[in-house]
């Protein structure tokens, strides 16, 4: 599908600088653009590529002033915020690629399940008893929805997602392939013979609106009550969230984060990859945690943390400088000891 510079500028409320009839049929990074591609430039670090790009159209900030000649085949669309406008175009492009409403066969939908309008349900999907699916939901092949699961409007479950019984998924939620929602929490108690006995996990998982969860994540059901992923949370691939955890609104975590049971994560928290968070603690709103950190205890006020166990990142950096100097410091101590012994002999 082709769009002209004039049409794109109209969508973005921008100004055309060049040929308004220039057309594009695809998107590309500015350094990889070719004829028919649409690119954008917002970071000055990439400015050098605009002078050699093969793209036909490039979205730039209104403040952009070329330092040398642009390619004669390039048309600019000047906007207030190039990055935000390109993101808007990506969203439009993505919505155009939504699956057409269809229920593919073979798939299983229990007679007691209810499915809203305009669904896409892929082949080999399994939808259990009393499941409720909202409008415009996309369920890709091999998805399994256990009994009593609820899925809100406009949500997307990619291939091989499994949602165990009784879990609730809100509106506009995206869950990527291989993720498991509602598996049993890691609950065991040793008996008098020190043999672990399983503690039944009878709660569920509640995922609120506008959440996105990456591939191959595991979010465990609560022992009792609910594990909560609140509105607007973003979870990267390969994350583990244990039973009875509560992740509050608009928190984001990168890949391989592990959160132990009953931890409470505040609003707008940013968690770097491979961070481990102990159970039964609270992390304050607006906290930032650097990748590979370990959080063993409650964080009472917003801070930027680093290390394992984690503490203030500036203190950590100063400490690390001292740590790197340890070999030099030890050699100096050894030298002082040698000199002291020689003095004592004299």
Encoding tokens for residue 45? 């670090």
Q: Is 243 a catalytic residue?
A: yes
User: From CA 37, how far away is CA 171, in angstroms rounded?
Assistant: 33
- Of 176, 243, 250, 282, the active-site residue reads 243
Tell me which residue has tokens 């370990």: 294
Mind telling me the catalytic residues?
243
């Amino acid at each position: 599908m082709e769009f002209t510079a004039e049409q794109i500028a109209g969508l973005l409320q921008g100004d055309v600088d060049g040929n308004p009839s220039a057309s594009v049929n695809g998107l590309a990074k500015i350094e990889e653009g070719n004829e028919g591609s649409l690119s954008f430039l917002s970071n000055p670090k990439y400015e050098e590529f605009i002078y050699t790009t093969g793209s036909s159209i490039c979205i730039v900030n209104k403040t952009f002033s070329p330092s040398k000649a642009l390619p004669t085949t390039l048309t600019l669309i000047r906007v207030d915020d190039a990055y935000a406008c390109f993101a808007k175009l990506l969203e439009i492009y993505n919505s155009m690629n939504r699956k057409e409403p269809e229920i593919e066969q073979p798939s299983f939908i229990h007679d007691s399940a209810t499915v809203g309008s305009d669904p896409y349900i892929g082949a080999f999907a399994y939808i259990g008893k009393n499941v409720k699916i909202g409008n415009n939901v996309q369920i890709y092949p091999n998805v399994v929805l256990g009994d009593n699961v609820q899925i809100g409007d406009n949500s997307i479950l990619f291939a091989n997602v499994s949602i165990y019984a009784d879990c609730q998924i809100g509106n506009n939620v995206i869950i990527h392939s291989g993720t498991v929602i509602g598996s049993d929490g890691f609950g065991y108690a040793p008996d008098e013979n020190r043999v672990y006995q399983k503690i039944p996990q009878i709660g569920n998982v509640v995922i609120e609106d506008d959440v996105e969860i990456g591939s191959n994540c595991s979010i465990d059901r609560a022992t009792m009550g609910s594990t909560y992923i609140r509105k607007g949370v973003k979870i990267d691939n390969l994350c583990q969230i244990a039973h009875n955890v509560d992740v509050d609104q608009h928190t984001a975590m990168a890949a391989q984060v592990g959160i132990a049971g009953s931890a409470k994560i505040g609003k707008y928290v940013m968690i770097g990859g491979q961070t481990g968070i102990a159970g039964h603690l609270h992390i304050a709103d607006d906290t930032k945690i650097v990748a590979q950190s370990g959080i063993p205890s409650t964080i009472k006020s917003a801070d930027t943390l680093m290390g394992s166990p984690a503490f203030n990142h500036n203190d950590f950096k100063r400490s690390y400088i001292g740590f790197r100097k340890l070999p030099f410091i030890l050699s100096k101590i050894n030298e002082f000891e040698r000199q002291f012994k020689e003095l004592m002999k004299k």
